[in-house]
Chain A
Amino acid sequence: MKLIKRTYTYTAKWMIPVIIIGSVFCFYMIEYISYEETDEFLTYEMQRLIDYHEAHNDLPEFHQVANILPDVRFEKPMFKDTLMLEPGDNEMVPYRELYFTISHNGNDQTLVLRHLLIGRDDIAEGTLLIILGLMFLITVFLYIMVNSIAGKIWNPFYQTLDKLVKFKISGPLPEFPATAIDEFQSLNTTLDTLLKKIADDYRHNKEFGENASHELQTHLAIIRANTEKLLNSPDTSLELEELQKIYTASTKLSQVQKSLTLLSKINNREYSNPVKVDFRKTVEQAFEIFTEAITIREISVDKHLRACTLTMDAGLAEILVNNLVKNAVKHNIQNGTIRIILSPVELTIENSGLPFNGNADMLLERFAKGKSGNIGIGLAIVKQICELYNFRISYTVSEQAEHKISIFFPQK
């Protein structure tokens, strides 16, 4: 969820108690004020009547006296709420009454002043209107406020984020804009240090790989060239077998080194030239390389290829498919079978082979040990490429010794 949306949600949640407490408060406040004002009005009227009575021993011509109760005495003026039927709309309406006693010609006369009160339903209605109006205003202002504040305050954050998202390890380091907000400044500085360290490590790692590879391969080339020379020497007293061992070991070593370099390069994302790759064509080409090997082993091939285009590095696509086909040919048996299915969703290659007990997924690891010793690194490269492109890969071996590798392409 977006930061700003989150801000709205949280703000909205906090508005709920504000609305409830505000409504209750508003309601009682209006009610209180309404009583206050009515009581005040009645008290003034009472005072006027008492004053007038004292001066003229009579009631003024215009007064609010609703009732006179003779021979009833209240020590102190008394307020009272009452409901009376309003004949107009035939409903009970609240009134406020003030009872007070004056002494008229020696007799106690209790006067009753009466004034209409604001009904609770009217107060509730008013409260609702006020709160709604207020809410509307608050919402409008909050929206504008959050938007403008988020825009201003979070702007450096979004810029940093944007640069981070676009950052590629092989590319130049991003430059984060300076900001006056301490936290973001600290974030940027920390990221700067971190990225610099990562980029340095990456570069060192790459350089080390390149140097190691260069030195190793050059010297292996010397070993190979000289062994080859000895193998061709007319001096038959030479121990050919030992020479062959040196030669084989150096060949093997250089192959392993090449594979490891490739793995580390894939891991380092050094192959990042994505193009649209026609996988059907790649598969057909891979089979072409191994046609003769397939014929020699008399392997029957069953191809179900549908069009499938993926965006990835062309070289890696080739390595991926070649390794899979090679694996299927290499670990096959005489008169065996290969079945390959390609669709926009998956690439599955199934081949007959030797029975395998244990976790077939282990065969995808580097230098996994098979029955015949080291089974190499080809599938580890396949796995690494799959990981790079978020392809899911599975390796299963059935009881009939059918080896099956499936790669599922992510669907957009």
Chain B
Amino acid sequence: MKLLIVEDNLKLLDAITETLVAEKFLCETSANYPDAHEKIVMYNYDIMVIDINLPGGSGLDLIQEIKLQNPATGIIVISARNSLDNKLEGFDLGADDYLTKPFDMAELVARIKSLIRRRNFAGTSIVSFGDISIDTTRREVTANSQKIDLTKSEYDILLFFFSNPGRVLTRESIAEHIWGDNMDLADSFDFIYSHMKNLRKKITSTGCDDPIKAVYGVGYKFELA
């Protein structure tokens, strides 16, 4: 899986690259418009992560260029501009997803993996972790060979965990993943707690080991015992 990351802030670029490399993605980076443009013309990428505000040009123009060069490339826009117009314009040009800065690396990883699933690069829509597997097209979860019914949020959280196994997911990160901008984070912790409790109960009721570990005061972590 080959990725191109275009972001002008080098520190952020480093942080993103480091995370994605740790996820075993093949990453190339670019910090300005001309360089990114050249790379797009010369090479093929499966996924591109693009910032809109770039020195030397707009990320929106880059999206147009990619669509011309290689329409199969998945595009995730990351922008500090929260304006609806930009978002719509990005989608109109063919961006697949949009993230506003600042975002959690866990969220970026989840979005990239979700995009990969939707593009069906891996050829299957089933992701498994230990005894638990998720069929992402049918939104069905099986644990210990038993089907379990999850609510929308529980499903979203589980899939979020699946995208970031072994990584600490902060409560803020989970809240943002479920509600986006629609919930003030500090107020949502009660709800997260309830969701976690229910999710754990549903998984362990199948005889599965509880894969969700609480990290005191921070959040949760998904790993096999």
Contact = CB atoms under 8 A, between A and B. Distances in A.
A217 B53 CA distance: 12
B183 interface: yes
Nearest to A247: B170
A24 B46 CA distance: 100
A297 to B, nearest CB: 8
B186 A217 contact: no
B182 A289 contact: yes
B151 A292 contact: yes
B104 A228 contact: yes
Interface string A228-251: 110110000000110110011011
Contact of B16 (A225, A271, A292): A225
A258 interface: yes
Interface residues of B, number: 45
B12 A213 contact: no
Contacts of B84: 271, 315
A241 B217 contact: yes
Contacts of B184: 255, 326, 330, 376, 378
A269 interface: no
A78 interface: no
B80 A218 contact: yes
Interface string A374-387: 00101000000000
A225 B15 contact: yes
Contact of B102 (A210, A217, A229, A241): A217
Given A244-B218, A293-B191, A232 B80 contact: no
Contacts of B188: 293
Nearest to A374: B186
Contacts of A229: 15, 18-19, 105
Interface string B14-57: 01101100000000000000000000000000000000010000
Contacts of B195: 292, 296
A120 interface: no
A319 to B, nearest CB: 9
A292 B153 contact: yes
Contacts of B187: 330
Given A218-B102, A220-B101, A240-B217, 4 more contacts: A225-B12, A229-B105, A293-B191, A296-B194
> Across chains A and B, which 9 residue pairs bring their CB atoms closest together, nearest first?
A221-B102, A225-B15, A217-B80, A217-B101, A214-B80, A220-B102, A296-B194, A221-B101, A251-B172
Interface of A: 210, 213-226, 228-229, 231-232, 240-241, 243-244, 247-248, 250-252, 254-255, 258, 261-262, 265, 270-271, 289-293, 295-296, 315, 322, 326, 330, 376, 378
